[in-house]
Structure 1
Amino acid sequence: MEREKFSSRLGFLLISAGCAIGIGNVWRFPYITGQYGGAVFVLIYLLFLAILGLPIMVMEFAVGRASQKSVALSFNVLEPKGSKWHIYRWFGMAGNYLLMMFYTTVGGWMLTYFVKMVKGDFVGLDADQVGAEFGAVTSQMGMQIFWMIVIVLVGFGICSLGLQKGVEKITKWMMCSLFVIMVVLAIRSVTLPGAVEGLKFYLVPDFGRMVENGIGNTIFAALGQAFFTLSLGIGAMAIFGSYIGRDRSLMGESVSITILDTLVALIAGLIIFPACSAYSVNPGEGPGLVFVTLPNVFNHMAGGRWWGALFFIFMSFAALSTIVAVFENILSFAIDLTGCSRKKAVACNLVAIILLSLPCVLGFTAWAGFHPLGGSSNILDLEDFLVSNNLLPLGSLVYLLFCTRRYGWGWDNFIAEANQGRGLKFPRWARVYVSYILPVIVLLVFVQGYLSKFFPAFYARLFGG
């Protein structure tokens, strides 16, 4: 059976960007930027995005396009006879399932908040009451399960329509709507009285802030954000490489996707920092920024209920774009491995994802006393740690070594595939960098994740802050 292809280049770019663009861009990026000094952090982040994320994205796309398969079979197709690279496919597939085990719950929170904003549930509440609302949402098992199932049904519903008629067509509409909503929200935010200080914090670098937070700490925070924002290492991008032709080079396409991904993160900052400045709210308040801080900001704003609703529908689109992209990947595993129909793959995986997503919900309710990583950690933290701190960096290392070592697919095969077609070429002079230096950087990201998680005092002494 011939592999279905995207109907247009725009479809490929928007869907690949949609996979990269998620709650990491519009939730994690602003609060990490707030914590690590604003504009100076953004500069370092952009540098790392170019030298770290971009080469690995090209490699994932190249493996997908050359093999015409998902991560379930791509290594089997390209590896030298007798080698064992294909063992990684189980980890790659596990990464996609693990990501969806908590992403569906967080996507459900976004939809919940959209509905609450439309209903006016936050109107008249003080700051403490707004904060208590998030606790109320995460403590209601039935409501969380309901919205998680809604997200799963919508995601697989889109995928069931096929690559072109479902995933491509609807993601195009969703991503275009997301950009329009973001621009409208950003214009509203930067025109608020008192927004100038927030803009200065976000756009004018102050290296003194970098020293305050610890230079090493700031650099590693930027390194981590640049690495995780593109969801590289679990084959989530490779699948879209298998759906495109060879008329354009992969470096040029990867640059376009990275720019789209970065644009969304940067515009999210233009929404959040001026608004926080206008209402004297601290933008570095951590993960609660979206669910606690921003509803307070909207409460102070004229017509805030509707601006809040617009913000949370945009957040829902950001989450759903990633969910649809990863669901498409998950369906391709079943189709590649068993040869089953798309409808059958949807039916089986729909049930599987709902069941696999339940522990995350239970971690906030019935199993709230279970702290897998110590402290106040929950099941979501464990699932996120397994993906973000283990499978993404180690998977990226596998792709790097596979594409640069003669015992793998090899540099010559990779560069020939990556540079086929018109457009920007992957530079041949970068061979030493991607073969020897970049793997060390990725290993550092992996080690840093463990140090900051399990040895925070030692990490603080080592890197400052």
Structure 2
Amino acid sequence: MSRENFRSRLGFILVSAGCAIGIGNVWKFPYVTGANGGGVFVLFYILSLIIMGVPILTMELAVGRASRKSAVEGYRALEPKGSRWHVHGWLGIIGCCLLMMFYTTVAGWMLGYCVKFAAGTFNGMTPADVDAVWTNMLANPGEMTLWMALIVLAGFAVCSFGLQKGLERISKWMMICLLALIVILAVNSLTLEGAMEGVKFYLLPDFERAAEVGIGNVIVAAMNQSFFTLSLGIAAMEIFGSYMSDANRLPGEAVRICCLDTFVALMSGMIIFPACSSFGIEASSGPPLIFLTLPRVFVSMAGGRVWGALFFLFLTFASFTTIIAVFENIMACCMDTFGWSRRKATILGCVFMLLASMPCLLGYNLWYFELTLPNGVTGQVQDVEDFLVSNLLLPIGSLIYLLFCVSKWGWGFDRYLAEANKGTGLGMSPKLKRYFQFVLPLLILVILLVGLATWFWRILVCAVVVLFVWFMARRGAAKASR
């Protein structure tokens, strides 16, 4: 069976950007920015994308394009004979599944709020009433299951039509609508009285304010956010490399994806911070910012029913483009590895995801519990899943992709560079070899270790990573030395 390719370069960029654009941009980025001092965090975030995000993104895309296969089979096609780098392909797919296990629930919340605003549920509510909508929804597993199931069913329905007729066609229109919505919402926020104070907090670097949080903490938070927002390290982007043409160099394509991703993240802040400033609400209130703080703002705003519905429609589009992209990756892996048809992968994948999403959903009511995670945060089911993906699988996976592409025990820097520079456009300089081999791995290790609260967990994770990489490379290295 021949492999599908994107119909156009624009389709590739919009689908890949759609995978990157999601909760990390429109939910996590604003509250992490607020909690880390505003403008200084944004400055270091953009710098992190340039020095870390773009290089790792080119590596995932290079593995996909060179192999023309999904995560596991892609590694198998390129790894030295006898090595075990493809084991990480399986971990990448597990990471995609873990990501979707809580992503579908959060996307369901966004869809639910969009419907509630459009239906006028929030009209005339007091702040206490707005808060009650949130708490009542979390306490109602039936309602949350309905929204989650609609997201999952719609996602697999899109993927069932294939790459061009399903994922590419729908993502292109949703991305166009998303970009139009975000501009409209940002312009509306900027017209509110007192909005400029929020813009100043958001975009003007204030190192004294950042020092209160700790400059080191701000830098590490920005580095971590750059990985989360691009979904790097779990093969979510690799699959789109396998579908793209050889006409354009990968660094140029990676820069375009990052620019579009960053534009949406920055514009999300341009919606949220001016609105919060206008109504005198603190913007660093964490995840409840989206579902508690902002609904209060919309209720107090003229035409708030319309603006609230549009805002949550924008959030739904942003999360859904990521969901269908990751679903496609999971399905492609099953089709490549097990020889399944797309129909079989759609049905089994849908059933699995509906069941796998339930622990997160029930973790807010029937299965509620609390425990202290290795990063020192007290959380429940969603926090466990988020920690595993954000603090472990994304940085560890990015480190493995990096080592695979630049070390002599993996694919090798020369082969990676040749693939990255195939075609026309912005290329990658061979002078970056030492930076990729020695500096970039250390930066990723910093992200990984700072995300763990105690030295016990840091030493344990370091030992596991070292043993894992050694296990994957040892047989190939032994054969290469003969």
TM-score range, shorter chain: over 0.9
Shift of 1:226: 1.4
Q: Which amino acid aligns with 2:395?
A: P
Which residue of 392, 395, 403 corresponds with 2:394? Answer: 392
SS at match of 2:230: coil
Identical counterparts, % of pairs: 55
Unaligned runs of 5+ in 1: 456-465
Which residue of 395, 399, 424 corresponds with 2:426? Answer: 424
Tell me the equivalent position of 1:293.
Answer: 293
Matched, 1:368 2:364: no
Shift of 1:372: 6.6
Change in Cα spacing, 1:454 to 1:27, as seen in structure 2 (3 Å) is farther
- Given that 2:72 and 2:87 are in contact with CA atoms closer than 8 Å, whether structure 1 keeps it comes out as no
Structure 2 distance, partners of 1:230, 1:453, is 28
Report the TM-score, using the length of structure 2 for normalisation. 0.92
Structure 1 distance, partners of 2:225, 2:455, is 15
Q: More displaced, 320-329 or 435-444?
A: 435-444
Tell me the equivalent position of 2:349.
Answer: 349
Shift of 1:276: 0.7
Shift of 1:201: 1.2
Shift of 1:88: 1.3
Structure 2 distance, partners of 1:41, 1:236, is 26
Deviations 1:205-230 (A, max 9, x none): 21111112211111111111112111
SS at match of 2:81: coil
Tell me the equivalent position of 1:185.
Answer: 185
Q: Which amino acid aligns with 1:433?
A: Y
SS at match of 1:148: helix
Structure 2 matches for 1:208-357, cutoff 5 A? Answer: 208-357=208-357
Shift of 1:70: 0.7
- Given that 2:371 and 2:379 are in contact with CA atoms closer than 8 Å, whether structure 1 keeps it comes out as yes
Shift of 1:353: 0.6
Structure 2 distance, partners of 1:405, 1:80, is 11
Change in Cα spacing, 1:258 to 1:454, as seen in structure 2 (3 Å) is farther
- Given that 1:38 and 1:202 are in contact with CA atoms closer than 8 Å, whether structure 2 keeps it comes out as yes
- Given that 2:64 and 2:239 are in contact with CA atoms closer than 8 Å, whether structure 1 keeps it comes out as yes
* Number of residue pairs matched by the alignment: 456
- Given that 1:372 and 1:382 are in contact with CA atoms closer than 8 Å, whether structure 2 keeps it comes out as no
Structure 1 distance, partners of 2:132, 2:160, is 38
Tell me the equivalent position of 1:359.
Answer: 359
Structure 1 distance, partners of 2:36, 2:81, is 48
Structure 1 distance, partners of 2:429, 2:228, is 24
Structure 2 distance, partners of 1:435, 1:375, is 33
Tell me the equivalent position of 1:460.
Answer: none
- Given that 1:372 and 1:379 are in contact with CA atoms closer than 8 Å, whether structure 2 keeps it comes out as no
Change in Cα spacing, 1:200 to 1:454, as seen in structure 2 (3 Å) is farther
Change in Cα spacing, 1:165 to 1:375, as seen in structure 2 (3 Å) is closer
Structure 2 distance, partners of 1:232, 1:223, is 12
Tell me the equivalent position of 1:18.
Answer: 18
- Given that 1:75 and 1:86 are in contact with CA atoms closer than 8 Å, whether structure 2 keeps it comes out as yes
Shift of 1:126: 2.1
Unaligned runs of 5+ in 2: 458-482
Deviations 1:298-329 (A, max 9, x none): 01110001100000000000110000000000
Structure 2 distance, partners of 1:275, 1:375, is 29
Q: More displaced, 218-227 or 14-23?
A: 218-227
Change in Cα spacing, 1:370 to 1:208, as seen in structure 2 (3 Å) is closer
Shift of 1:72: 2.1
Shift of 1:375: 7.0
Change in Cα spacing, 1:453 to 1:333, as seen in structure 2 (3 Å) is farther
Q: More displaced, 202-211 or 311-320?
A: 202-211
Shift of 1:376: 4.8
- Given that 2:402 and 2:441 are in contact with CA atoms closer than 8 Å, whether structure 1 keeps it comes out as yes
- Given that 2:405 and 2:416 are in contact with CA atoms closer than 8 Å, whether structure 1 keeps it comes out as yes
- Given that 1:26 and 1:268 are in contact with CA atoms closer than 8 Å, whether structure 2 keeps it comes out as yes
SS at match of 1:290: helix
Structure 2 distance, partners of 1:232, 1:394, is 10
Structure 2 distance, partners of 1:454, 1:44, is 29
Q: Which amino acid aligns with 1:427?
A: S
Structure 2 matches for 1:33-72, cutoff 5 A? Answer: 33-72=33-72
SS at match of 2:87: helix
Deviations 1:315-363 (A, max 9, x none): 0001100000000001101110122211111011110110111111111
Report the TM-score, using the length of structure 1 for normalisation. 0.96
Tell me the equivalent position of 1:125.
Answer: 125
Shift of 1:453: 11
Shift of 1:23: 0.9
Structure 2 distance, partners of 1:289, 1:119, is 22
Which residue of 424, 446, 449 corresponds with 2:451? Answer: 449
Structure 2 distance, partners of 1:453, 1:283, is 32
Structure 2 distance, partners of 1:18, 1:315, is 12
Change in Cα spacing, 1:454 to 1:41, as seen in structure 2 (3 Å) is farther
Q: Which amino acid aligns with 2:104?
A: T
Deviations 1:47-95 (A, max 9, x none): 0111011100000000000000110211100001111111112211101
SS at match of 2:287: helix
Tell me the equivalent position of 1:461.
Answer: none
Structure 1 distance, partners of 2:26, 2:366, is 29
Tell me the equivalent position of 1:198.
Answer: 198
Q: More displaced, 35-44 or 251-260?
A: 35-44
Structure 2 distance, partners of 1:372, 1:311, is 33
Shift of 1:121: 1.8
Structure 2 distance, partners of 1:179, 1:18, is 11
Structure 1 distance, partners of 2:252, 2:101, is 33
Deviations 1:124-157 (A, max 9, x none): 2222332232111111001111111100000000
Tell me the equivalent position of 2:460.
Answer: none
Tell me the equivalent position of 2:442.
Answer: 440
- Given that 2:160 and 2:166 are in contact with CA atoms closer than 8 Å, whether structure 1 keeps it comes out as yes
Structure 1 distance, partners of 2:194, 2:186, is 14
SS at match of 1:366: coil
Tell me the equivalent position of 1:413.
Answer: 415
Shift of 1:38: 1.2
Structure 2 distance, partners of 1:428, 1:381, is 40
Shift of 1:371: 3.6
